[in-house]
Amino acid sequence: MTRLPVAVLGATGAVGQTFIRLLEDHPWFQLAEVAASERSAGKRYGDVTRWIEGAMPAAVARMTVTLCDPATVRSPIVFSALDAAAAAELEPAFARAGRFVLSNAKNLRMEADVPLVIPEVNADHLALLDAQRARGWAGGVVTNANCAATVAAMALAPLHTAFGLTELFLSTMQAVSGAGYPGVPSLDILGNVIPYIGDEEPKLEREMQKMLGTLAGAAIVPAPFVVSAHANRVPVEHGHTVAMSARFARKPSVAHALEALREWRGADSVRGLPSAPEHPLLVTDAPDRPQPRRDVMAGKGMTVTVGRVREDALFDLRCVAMGHNTIRGAAGGSILNAELLAATGRLGWVPPGRA
Amino acid sequence: MTRLPVAVLGATGAVGQTFIRLLEDHPWFQLAEVAASERSAGKRYGDVTRWIEGAMPAAVARMTVTLCDPATVRSPIVFSALDAAAAAELEPAFARAGRFVLSNAKNLRMEADVPLVIPEVNADHLALLDAQRARGWAGGVVTNANCAATVAAMALAPLHTAFGLTELFLSTMQAVSGAGYPGVPSLDILGNVIPYIGDEEPKLEREMQKMLGTLAGAAIVPAPFVVSAHANRVPVEHGHTVAMSARFARKPSVAHALEALREWRGADSVRGLPSAPEHPLLVTDAPDRPQPRRDVMAGKGMTVTVGRVREDALFDLRCVAMGHNTIRGAAGGSILNAELLAATGRLGWVPPGRA
Amino acid sequence: MTRLPVAVLGATGAVGQTFIRLLEDHPWFQLAEVAASERSAGKRYGDVTRWIEGAMPAAVARMTVTLCDPATVRSPIVFSALDAAAAAELEPAFARAGRFVLSNAKNLRMEADVPLVIPEVNADHLALLDAQRARGWAGGVVTNANCAATVAAMALAPLHTAFGLTELFLSTMQAVSGAGYPGVPSLDILGNVIPYIGDEEPKLEREMQKMLGTLAGAAIVPAPFVVSAHANRVPVEHGHTVAMSARFARKPSVAHALEALREWRGADSVRGLPSAPEHPLLVTDAPDRPQPRRDVMAGKGMTVTVGRVREDALFDLRCVAMGHNTIRGAAGGSILNAELLAATGRLGWVPPGRA
Amino acid sequence: MTRLPVAVLGATGAVGQTFIRLLEDHPWFQLAEVAASERSAGKRYGDVTRWIEGAMPAAVARMTVTLCDPATVRSPIVFSALDAAAAAELEPAFARAGRFVLSNAKNLRMEADVPLVIPEVNADHLALLDAQRARGWAGGVVTNANCAATVAAMALAPLHTAFGLTELFLSTMQAVSGAGYPGVPSLDILGNVIPYIGDEEPKLEREMQKMLGTLAGAAIVPAPFVVSAHANRVPVEHGHTVAMSARFARKPSVAHALEALREWRGADSVRGLPSAPEHPLLVTDAPDRPQPRRDVMAGKGMTVTVGRVREDALFDLRCVAMGHNTIRGAAGGSILNAELLAATGRLGWVPPGRA
């Protein structure tokens, strides 16, 4: 039973490192290639990488960095931790060359034929991949949403399904790891709040409608709600916290909202995937949770925790959602997307035990 | 030219210490008495106080702590840093005994005959003091609002006056000093966010309407807007940051809103008071300000900084306000209230140079 | 194959909680009793405990708290997370009643007949237990050292064995979790250093000599080195960092010191114990490690990481050691001590698979 | 009475900004030029500078940045906040061109003819300036020591004078502002300690001997003590804390050491200089001070606070010193050096009121 070889593009950066950590001992995928720019290509990974968290896996340290190019990277699955500038050219090139690209970059997220996927929420959006053939892509691109949008969308998915979200006010408190490495200077954030994250509010105001939208034929009809977002950076390492007030087409009681949140398991096709947590959402009764330091590793970083579900003076409901920005909101989300591709037969490869 | 003797009740705690720091070298008031509970009374202030910030003023360290009782504390002005439990009995007792109490406790804030004052915003509300005679009080009580409500109310005051606030969402990121000392344990807040502060959201949802309300005869008609508040604690020492989305009766353009904010100076009676900052509001153009660590000491902690004034997708305007929670939002606000009492002749005492 | 029932004394506090987390799914020990003071006894554990890290295990939340008394606590092994005041009376009472007490309190550590044990370092010191019979104790007490002393002693053990430590300077940077909960107020430590920890330096200056001492007959001959300690608190959650300069009877080269550190595995009797890490010491080559946030969970918190081994201008060698203060330095260390007791036959009970 | 025009080289960086803040309203010096590299030259200072602390002075924001070259910068006094690479060429060029350079760079500190000055400690070392003529310099260079070395040297100066320092062990806990801006990434230091600062320990081990050395003819005879340094970075904004154990030729009692520290005022020539604090050293009796957040602004950042003076088990005395690394340890120290140059007649210019 062989594992499928996969590559990480942008492997030396912060998100790339998270991919590498999460792919260690993956039951389906084998990290075969670590790719980066010309500056690092041809060198030992351990020599060109400033490893940020814990210890660098010894096997990876010994790997030779491959140039980020479809001619040199041969794996059928590529996880892209590229920044927007590099992704602009490279991700389409890999798709054209027949690879499936799992992308964290913002470039293609809002393209009509590119699925923006959280498997538990909108696994069916993968159908858009068929439309990518028209681009002349032998492979395809599946994108992740912005990390804070992912956390909010997961908490809202069951509520939107049950009650029809119409208006959403949200204010985030986002971890520094969301800005990559070196990212936020310590002089900017120690004991401080920065009430601004470049280009974050627009993403928060448009990506959720697509994710919570409906597949109609070969297109996504966005969910028709309006979002007002306030994005803030706080001195937290991992875990984006989102305070939300929401209005619905059918006003739910707090009890009904809690029931919808507690019963939600997400799409059937996701259950049992290696990276799928038992509970994509965890609802806490504690008056002062979720908290990033205490709840961020729920479901190995793949579970979003929701708390403080209560009435709102202006809209219908208020609540707080918190999730791991570099796991569920980035690398872990991409890996789950790839597992979904494999499990739904889109790779022409049968995962172990799925015959 | 003599200064007026004043006392601080609850002088050994965190807010009490801020009073003491701010009263050092005050041109009108002379710190004559430091009062606390029986446990400390009769002892040297320096021996019973764990001083939190900077160095304890040597003259205060040598003072003997007085018992918190109108029979032992003789100053005509008392600044109360008492917690709600102690304030419940003591503040009325001092008022009955003819003293003017400047209170930070929540107990009396919402009483119909007790002014809830930010001098620049609603100096005229002091007229309520006359109604307190009906309680048999020879003196009176003037209260400060909750620290986060004060920051928000100052930023909103000129906008409300010009455009008529109707709906307000706000999400706070509050400093640990707001919880006093010892207050928030470090294990709860280092690298963390706590999306809950006990009893804070109700205060934020009701106090601003009174402060921004209108004096009609001997009563305040509350401003008729509705507030939805999300209160969060963040690992910041001083400075509450408030993200707000607001709707108005008359929708302002961003330019008009900025103009209203920039031109506002507050009530005439406040200008020139010793603790009044030149600019009660400062509007910043920087895309990523206000920030607590960088802006909290504007106007010696008495200025609220407003930034990121922009359109809102749901309501009319979004912005961020930030101010010093223990200076403008507590001790400094009380001292300014006392200065206003003096300057408006309510103490029967003429401040130096105001003859 | 039954597991041995064990109790945690002081189960509701911070160290008690760490015991509970580490005993979940323990292969030898079954958490049978959670004991606390009269205030909590008889109540549901989940109702009286403010759980600090992650989520409280559901099974423990449902347990009824037992009164901390040998008459009510029946387990043969008791892990004591009691503070010094409570431990003074209770730990001897449990020992008298035939239980084996694994203590984190300072009270008995320096008693001549009480072993102060790090299994890898001085497993043979358990022989002192026989001498405890003379106190009329049917059971016995085994103590852990101060958390920072444990980290330093582990790093020094192989060096002392090989080269004979004579003089030691150390300066610690200790995590806030070492002070328990609520412990250090956030206003004291956010963005700050406190160059003092009450009673810490004396412990650091006397406990290591006993741990690194030699068993001679029924007594420990302390290792004859002199320690000068500087104890500091820093805003770190877990992990004590210790900078050290050491002089030895036989000056080692850096290469020889590294070799001694790298080859050390500790006492044979410890290998294979459930809580024993594969490497009690890990030597890092990185120029800027060990770091608490990055290395504290090495060996599931039971491994001490040593780095920056280099020449010293005054003594022979300098290095930095870092270890988890509430796992290796407290609860995890006690559990390893209990495993050692079991594995060496001192409990009259044969662990599973050790027949 | 005119003020002397001065320039800041490297004016856009972190230390440059501190110079600018400290020179605002300086009674002797007038900030006439802000100089930086070609990238910024010719542009408005406010447009090319990311201001780090508080608000940028409006007058400076409007200044045009001058190219860092003696041909374009005309002020007779230049404060250099250049990094080592830029300083290597530029500082000698300015000196050659007749300017007095007050340097924070490490390049020239250890040159035999370059004074390394803390005015209170070794004002007489300015005599070395005469020897610089031999380099063909019409002006001269006066250097500041490493920021942590400055803090330690000030605390040790009176003790060395009285008792003769022979051996010193020190372990630092240094603020992030010491690394400039952007400097330390937040992901590296939030809740963490980094037990390493590049090239810091060698500076700590050699610069103090020169500062505490004796002027003999035209040369400095270094003080003959040996230093072992451990340099650590901690999540503190400003203020380096140094734990020290010291041995002396004549062992002092704690009482005598305290007396020497308390009585010390430094060189007579320094008293009354505009930036000289009343007390260059402040001795604290509090058991847990000095602390950076609480004591760093003593003497407006120019006073070093010393505490915990106590016996040492290995050497004679232990103590903790703490001072502001970017004020006393950098920009403020340079300005004081320039004031000393002026006051001692080396500029051929008489400061106001010093006729």
A136: left (phi over 0), alpha (psi -120 to 50) or beta: left
pLDDT score of B311 more than 60: yes
Q: Which chains touch D (3 or more CB pairs under 8 A)?
A: A, B, C
Is there a contact between D196 and C167 if contact means CB atoms under 8 Å apart?
no
Q: Name the residue among D227, D287, D322 with its Cβ closest to that of C196.
A: D287
Q: What is the pLDDT of residue B63?
A: 98
Q: What is the pLDDT of residues B195-245, one digit of tens each?
A: 999 999 999 999 999 999 999 988 999 999 999 999 999 999 999 999 999
Single out the residue of A121, A172, A181, A127 nearest to residue A346, CA to CA.
Answer: A127
- Contacts of C58 by beta carbon, 8 Å cutoff, 6+ apart: none
Q: Name the residue among D53, D297, D298 with its Cβ closest to that of B294.
A: D53
For testing contact with chain B, the best of C51, C177, C187, C293 (most B CBs within 10 A)? C187
Which residues of chain C neighbour A293 with C-beta distances below 8 Å?
A: 237
Selected residues 55-114 of chain B with any CB under 8 Å from a CB in chain D? 55
Q: What is the pLDDT of residues D219-261, one digit of tens each?
A: 999 999 999 999 999 999 999 999 999 999 999 999 999 999 9
Q: What is the pLDDT of residue A2?
A: 87
Is there a contact between B190 and C52 if contact means CB atoms under 8 Å apart?
no
Instruction: Give the active site residue among C125, C160, C238, C240.
Output: C240
Residue C280 near residue C154, CB atoms below 8 Å? yes
Percent of chain A with pLDDT over 70: 99
Instruction: Locate the chain C residue with the closest alpha carbon to A237.
Output: C293
For testing contact with chain C, the best of A189, A193, A294 (most C CBs within 10 A)? A294
Q: Tell me the C-alpha distance between D297 and C273, whole Å.
A: 52
- Residue D319 is among the residues annotated as catalytic for this protein: no
Which residues of chain C neighbour D246 with C-beta distances below 8 Å?
A: none
For range B286-295, the mean pLDDT:
96
Q: What is the pLDDT of residue B100?
A: 98
Q: What is the pLDDT of residue D84?
A: 94
For testing contact with chain C, the best of B17, B53, B186 (most C CBs within 10 A)? B186
pLDDT score of A170 more than 80: yes
Q: What is the pLDDT of residue B53?
A: 86
For chain A, give the mean pLDDT.
96
Q: Rounded to whole angstroms, what are the CA distances from A270 to A118, A262, A333, A346, B56? A: 10, 17, 12, 14, 62
pLDDT score of B280 more than 80: yes
Q: What is the pLDDT of residue A354?
A: 83
Q: What is the per-residue burial (b if ≥16 Cβ within 10 Å, else e) of A172-184?
A: bbbbbbbbbbbbb
ipTM above 0.90, yes or no: yes
pLDDT score of A53 more than 60: yes
Q: Name the residue among C53, C191, C297 with its Cβ closest to that of A191.
A: C191
Which residues of chain D neighbour C186 with C-beta distances below 8 Å?
A: none
Coil, helix or strand at residue A112: coil
Q: Tell me the C-alpha distance between D255 and C268, whole Å.
A: 51
Q: Is A191 on the interface with C (CB under 8 A)?
A: yes
Instruction: Give the active site residue among D125, D238, D240, D324.
Output: D240
pLDDT score of D1 more than 60: no
Q: Tell me the C-alpha distance between B110 and B88, whole Å.
A: 13
Q: Which chains touch A (3 or more CB pairs under 8 A)?
A: B, C, D
Q: What is the pLDDT of residues D49-70, one digit of tens each?
A: 999 888 899 999 999 999 999 9
For chain D, give the mean pLDDT.
96
Residue B104 near residue B144, CB atoms below 8 Å? yes
Q: Is A38 on the interface with C (CB under 8 A)?
A: no
Q: What is the pLDDT of residue A1?
A: 58
For chains A and B, count residue pairs whose Cβ atoms are closer than 8 Å.
127
Q: Rounded to whole angstroms, what are the CA distances from D331 to D18, D104, D105, D109? A: 6, 8, 11, 16
Q: Is D230 on the interface with C (CB under 8 A)?
A: yes
Is there a contact between A55 and C190 if contact means CB atoms under 8 Å apart?
no
Q: Is B295 on the interface with D (CB under 8 A)?
A: yes
pLDDT score of B1 more than 80: no
- Contacts of A216 by beta carbon, 8 Å cutoff, 6+ apart: none
Is there a contact between D176 and A189 if contact means CB atoms under 8 Å apart?
no
| CB-CB neighbours of B242 under 10 Å | 30
Q: What is the pLDDT of residue A18?
A: 97
For each of chain C's 355 residues, which pLDDT tens digit applies? Answer: 589 999 999 999 999 999 999 999 999 999 999 999 999 999 999 999 999 888 899 999 999 999 999 999 999 999 999 999 999 999 999 999 999 999 999 999 999 999 999 999 999 999 999 999 999 999 999 999 999 999 999 999 999 999 999 999 999 999 999 999 999 999 999 999 999 999 999 999 999 999 999 999 889 999 999 999 999 999 999 999 999 999 999 999 999 999 999 999 999 999 999 999 999 999 999 999 999 999 999 999 999 999 999 999 999 999 999 999 999 999 999 999 999 999 999 999 999 888 6
Residue A182 near residue D185, CB atoms below 8 Å? yes
Please report which confidence band the pLDDT of residue D218 belongs to, taking 50, 70 and 90 as the band edges. confident
Q: Name the residue among D168, D171, D293 with its Cβ closest to that of C243.
A: D171
Is there a contact between B230 and A192 if contact means CB atoms under 8 Å apart?
no
Single out the residue of C329, C270, C274, C319 nearest to residue C116, CA to CA.
Answer: C329
For testing contact with chain D, the best of A50, A51, A187 (most D CBs within 10 A)? A187
Single out the residue of D170, D154, D347 nearest to residue D267, CA to CA.
Answer: D154
Taken in order of first residue, the domains within chain B and their CATH numbers are 4-145+331-343 (3.40.50.720), 147-325 (3.30.360.10)
Q: What is the pLDDT of residue D125?
A: 97
Q: Tell me the C-alpha distance between B235 and C269, whole Å.
A: 45
Q: Tell me the C-alpha distance between B10 and B67, whole Å.
A: 10
Q: How many angstroms away from the CA of B226 is the closest CA of chain A?
A: 7
Q: What is the pLDDT of residue D53?
A: 86
- Residue C147 is among the residues annotated as catalytic for this protein: yes
| CB-CB neighbours of A343 under 10 Å | 22
Query: Does a cis peptide bond (omega within 30 degrees of 0) precede residue A185?
Result: no
